[in-house]
Amino acid sequence: MDALDAKYPFFASAREAVAAAAVSLPELVAADAPAVDRARERVERALLEGTVASESGSFPGESAYDAQAELLSYPIARILVSLLDSDPAIEKYAAAEAGTALERVRSDLETDDELRSVSSATVALDDLLAEFDLADAVRPDAAPAVGGAGGGSATAAGGPGRDPDHYWIGVGPYLRLTSSEWGDSWRLVNRAVAAGEVRVSRDELLTALEAAVEERVAEGLPFAVDEPIAGELESRVADLRRLLSERTYAEPPDVVAPALFPPCMTNLIEKAERDVTLSSAESFALMAFLVGIGMTPDEVVAFCADTSLDAEGIRYQTEYLTDERGTQYPPPTCETLANYGICHNEDDHMQVAADPLSYYEKRVAAADEVTDWRTARETDEPSEG
């Protein structure tokens, strides 16, 4: 088991490495091996934060887990997700695995060819295309077509050590991997199409490959889990279920009144305003709340402009939370936030509501007059012309 298999556990070579090692997953689970804890973290962070990266640091290098624990955590995480038996959980987990993988791919692609040649823990774009049987369907924009749609190496253009800026991909694979729901720019009618190929930018190609990873991760989920393993993982599955609030929201409060925010959210905002870096759990809790009350990503960026939170990180989290996958679960409950040290039950407010959104809704409903931050902001902005 090497670092590359652990970084990209959905690769065929990674599955072969697990099979060749003849490791018994039931025995690992029964022994509560490090891979089990990493699998639980993998699923938890996928559901709450849209990533499966370890909080202990990036892999390889900074992570507290070795290659074996990292790789084996993937099949165990799939077991945990299967035991959750929730379509939204599967969608969020697959999206998080794909998103994390493509972050790693982008980092690998930024590595010079000279460094790649001595590192077995990085992939080239050709490797990723071959993994998904797309090597013959994608060619660099600057390279001549060989045999119609496709042919040629994806790194044939762009100069040594650099991938080209644009590619041509066969119409069939393009339509399979992309969606018009991503925006008008993805609609075939708005693309450059020639000889059965669609022109895409390098970043758009990576976005399409992210969809391919997501599809592979989700394939086969959920599956039946043997009773002995299910029993051993019962407590961890219960913890994961507890993270998913049972309450659903037909409509958000859709008013931004900071004076009425729950104490925990006010504390986080004040902490960020003091230029203190929020932990990933704190950042997620705050973003989930702000999205939950109806704020758009642009509004959250503006609201947090004078804090330690950076605009790019805000946009990434809020866009994840506001797409179809992200909104399947509301923000964490007060109990979950208390477990993370975020909620301190000030004024015994858990007796009033079990989660920040419910608490906020009740305060808004009870207020005689509510001033929306968005209205005040529009008033303060200078008029054009």
Question: pLDDT tens for residues 94-112?
Answer: 999 999 999 999 988 887 6
| pLDDT above 80 (res 299) | yes
Query: Which residues are 366's β-sheet partners?
Result: none
Q: Which amino acid is at 275?
A: D
The answer to whether residues 206 and 228 belong to one domain is: no
- Is 356 inside a domain boundary? yes
DSSP-derived letter for residue 261 is: S
Res 348: pLDDT: 77
| pLDDT above 90 (res 294) | no
Res 157: pLDDT: 45
More confident residue, 246 or 11: 11
- Is 371 inside a domain boundary? yes
Res 55: pLDDT: 85
The answer to whether residues 101 and 230 belong to one domain is: yes
The count of other CB atoms within 10 Å of the CB of residue 295 is 22
The answer to whether residues 87 and 228 belong to one domain is: yes
The answer to whether residues 326 and 348 belong to one domain is: yes
- Is 385 inside a domain boundary? no
The answer to whether residues 235 and 210 belong to one domain is: no
Distance, CA of 60 to CA of 75 (rounded, Å): 19
The answer to whether residues 271 and 337 belong to one domain is: yes
| pLDDT above 90 (res 77) | yes
Q: Using CB atoms within 10 A of its CB, is residue 229 exposed (0-12), middle (13-18) or buried (19+)?
A: middle
Res 340: pLDDT: 80
Distance, CA of 286 to CA of 342 (rounded, Å): 10
The answer to whether residues 137 and 271 belong to one domain is: no
More confident residue, 242 or 66: 66
At residue 329 the predicted structure's pLDDT band, cuts being 50, 70 and 90, is low
Q: What angle do CA 216, 103, 209 make, to 5 degrees?
A: 40
The answer to whether residues 38 and 92 belong to one domain is: yes
The count of other CB atoms within 10 Å of the CB of residue 109 is 18
The answer to whether residues 258 and 364 belong to one domain is: yes
For 157, the token pair is: 């253009």
How many domains does the chain divide into?
3
- Is 307 inside a domain boundary? yes
Range of the domain at 287: 248-380
- Is 232 inside a domain boundary? yes
DSSP, collapsed to helix, strand or coil, labels residue 299 as: helix
The answer to whether residues 151 and 177 belong to one domain is: yes
- Is 364 inside a domain boundary? yes
Res 59: pLDDT: 83
Query: Which residues are 201's β-sheet partners?
Result: 166
For the chain, the average pLDDT equals: 84
- Is 14 inside a domain boundary? yes
| pLDDT above 60 (res 261) | yes
The answer to whether residues 281 and 229 belong to one domain is: no
- Is 34 inside a domain boundary? yes
Start-end of H helices in 22-66: 25-30, 34-49
Segment 198-219 shows an average pLDDT of 95
Is the overall model pTM greater than 0.75, yes or no? Answer: no
| pLDDT above 60 (res 154) | no
Distance, CA of 266 to CA of 136 (rounded, Å): 54
Buried b (16+ CB within 10 A) or exposed e, 262-292: bebbebbbebbeeeeebebbbbbbbbbbbbb
At residue 56 the predicted structure's pLDDT band, cuts being 50, 70 and 90, is confident
Q: What is the pLDDT of residues 100-153, one digit of tens each?
A: 999 999 988 887 655 555 555 789 999 999 999 999 999 999 744 444 444 444
The answer to whether residues 102 and 132 belong to one domain is: no
Highest mean predicted confidence (pLDDT) among 28-37, 83-92, 323-332:
28-37
3-state class percentages of the chain: helix first, strand second, coil last, to nearest 5? 55, 5, 40
